[in-house]
């Protein structure tokens, strides 16, 4: 028999259904699986609610929950595969993306250098190459070092060609190709080194990193090596005159006519999402770039990927038009030998070009800034609760003049879906 208080409590509780799995990080976040029915006790913020599942209470991301009216578990037919694996691995079953990656000398040579510089230490080691694609990293291992075994794991149909490439290059004694998702395949043993090229645009897009963490927890022996060992997302305020002219200023006087009524449409169409494959010129940077998010691949947890937060404080170095922010990433490969040299792959404007290029986040309205001004704020990468390879990047910034009084500070915020 429920007491009046319990009735009252239940009355304030609302039942929700989980639309996707969530792995909580930290002690106060509640983990749950898709389809779980949670009792929401409080909604302290629009993002995080206080909820209960089978007697356990904790914070849950509100975006993961839905309140289906009928009370039955309504499967949203459009969310048949939150990982979009059919399309994702379908793309990697063709040569286009592999040609792009293999043609990227900075990327591929960085991995080759890692193997080359660690070739002695790799002797008799067991290696897992997660998401091996055409097997290039595994072939480097067999060609440049003497590992005892390389497990080349590839989920797409490319795996059958990878097997041929391994045989064609006389590496089938050392390299074993396993077709399947890294989360599902079985290795005969643990490995000493887990190497993967998992980085997506803005570092995390595609969230292949989740597969790497799950494989680390399952197949990397204690004390084993993660390659990359660490990753960092770098941000800089920038001018983007040519992109702005091309997409926005264009409408001011095309052929002597006034097309400015189309500018709101242009802003919506061209500046709502980030611009992948942007090439920023170093002189477009308005301040010294700074690392806003750093990942330690030994301690990073899947739950940490739900929301990654970073702060920045830029000192503007030249008077210019502030059009937006540009982001890129750097990954580091620790040496297998204590004290050995670390190999770095930097995808920024002062390093060799890569197929990732950089990512440009355009403000809705450019702002003139002067040398000495400050641009400070936060960046939040919020993983999409339903489409698990997607995220939204939210930037909050405040511009303060070096001379103006603080009341003249200009604040702004903008969220950029990548892509849903
Ligand atoms: N740097 C990236 N953004 N993408 C480059 C690596 C992607 C390669 O890894 C494969 N791949 C991705 N995820 C997985 C997985 N969980 N298991 C096996 N192969 C995978 C995918 O099929 C492709 O061949």
Asked about 75 being catalytic, the answer comes back as no
Find out whether the beta carbon of 133 lies less than 6 Å from any atom of ligand 1. Answer: yes
- Tokens 């927890």 label which residue? 217
pTM recorded for the entire structure:
0.85
Per-residue confidence at 368, pLDDT binned at 50, 70, 90?
Answer: very high
User: How much of the chain exceeds pLDDT 90, in percent?
Assistant: 79
Strand bridging mode 275-278 / 126-130: unpaired
pLDDT digits (tens, 9 = 90+) for 291-305: 999 999 999 999 999
* Residue, of 223 and 404, whose pLDDT is higher: 223
pLDDT at residue 11, rounded to an integer: 54
What's domain 231-418's architecture?
Distorted Sandwich (2.70)
How far apart are alpha carbons 354 and 346 in whole angstroms?
9
Instruction: Give the distance (Å) from ligand 1 centre to CA of residue 75.
Output: 28
Atom 9 (ligand 1): residue with closest C-alpha? 131
Mean pLDDT of the region 194-218: 98
Q: Considering only CA atoms, which residue is closest to atom 12 of ligand 1?
A: 131
- Any idea where the domains of the chain sit in the sequence? 14-70, 85-197, 231-418
Select the CATH number that applies to the domain covering 85-197 from these four: 3.40.50.150, 3.90.1150.10, 2.70.98.60, 3.20.20.190. Answer: 3.40.50.150
- Interval 63-105: pLDDT, tens: 888 886 444 444 565 567 889 999 999 999 999 999 999 999 9
What is the CATH topology of the domain spanning 14-70? SH3 type barrels. (2.30.30)
Catalytic residue (one of 206, 317, 337, 344): 206
Q: Is 255 left (phi over 0), alpha (psi -120 to 50) or beta?
A: left
Tokens of 182: 């890294």
Catalytic site includes residue 317: no
Supply the DSSP symbol for 285. Answer: B
Tokens 């008077």 appear where? 319
DSSP 284: G
Q: pLDDT digits over 9-61, tens only?
A: 555 789 999 887 887 776 788 888 888 999 999 888 777 889 999 888 888 88
| pLDDT for position 123 | 98
Does the pLDDT value for residue 5 go beyond 80?
Answer: no
> By alpha-carbon position, which residue is closest to atom 7 of ligand 1?
131
In this prediction the ipTM stands at 0.99
């Amino acid at each position: 028999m429920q007491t009046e208080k319990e009735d009252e409590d239940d009355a304030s509780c609302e039942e929700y259904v989980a639309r996707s799995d969530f792995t909580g990080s930290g002690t106060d976040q509640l983990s749950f699986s898709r389809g779980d029915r949670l009792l929401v006790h409080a909604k302290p913020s629009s993002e995080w609610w206080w909820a209960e599942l089978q007697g356990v209470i904790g914070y849950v991301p509100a975006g993961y929950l839905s309140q289906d009216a009928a009370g039955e578990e309504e499967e949203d037919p459009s969310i048949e595969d939150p990982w979009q694996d059919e399309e994702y691995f379908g793309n990697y079953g063709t040569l286009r993306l592999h040609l792009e990656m293999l043609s990227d000398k900075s990327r591929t040579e960085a991995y080759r250098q890692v193997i080359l510089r660690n070739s002695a230490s790799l002797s008799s080691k067991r290696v897992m190459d997660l998401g091996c694609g055409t097997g290039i990293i595994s072939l480097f291992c067999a060609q440049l070092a003497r590992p005892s075994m390389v497990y080349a794991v590839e989920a797409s149909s490319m795996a059958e060609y990878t097997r041929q490439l391994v045989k064609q290059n006389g590496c089938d004694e050392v390299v074993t190709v396993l077709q399947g998702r890294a989360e599902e395949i079985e290795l005969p043993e643990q490995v000493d080194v887990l190497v993967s090229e998992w980085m997506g645009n803005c570092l995390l897009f595609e969230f292949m990193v989740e597969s790497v963490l799950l494989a680390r927890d399952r197949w990397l022996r204690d004390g084993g090596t993660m390659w990359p060992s660490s990753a960092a997302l770098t941000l800089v305020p920038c001018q983007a005159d040519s992109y702005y002219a091309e997409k926005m200023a264009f409408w001011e006087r095309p052929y002597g006519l006034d097309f400015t009524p189309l500018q709101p449409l242009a802003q919506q169409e061209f500046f709502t999402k980030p611009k992948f494959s942007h090439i920023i010129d170093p002189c477009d940077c308005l301040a010294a770039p700074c690392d806003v998010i750093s990942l330690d691949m030994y301690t990073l947890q899947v739950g940490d990927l739900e929301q990654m937060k970073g702060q920045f404080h830029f000192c503007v170095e030249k008077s210019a038009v502030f059009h937006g922010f540009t982001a890129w990433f750097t990954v580091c490969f620790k040496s297998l030998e204590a004290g050995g040299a670390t190999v770095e792959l930097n995808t920024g404007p002062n390093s060799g070009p890569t197929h990732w290029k950089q990512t440009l986040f355009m403000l809705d309205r450019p702002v003139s800034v002067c040398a000495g001004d400050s641009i400070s704020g936060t960046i939040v990468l919020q993983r999409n609760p339903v489409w698990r390879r997607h995220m939204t990047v939210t930037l909050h910034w405040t511009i303060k003049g070096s001379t103006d009084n603080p009341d003249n500070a200009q604040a702004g915020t903008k969220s950029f879906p990548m892509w849903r």
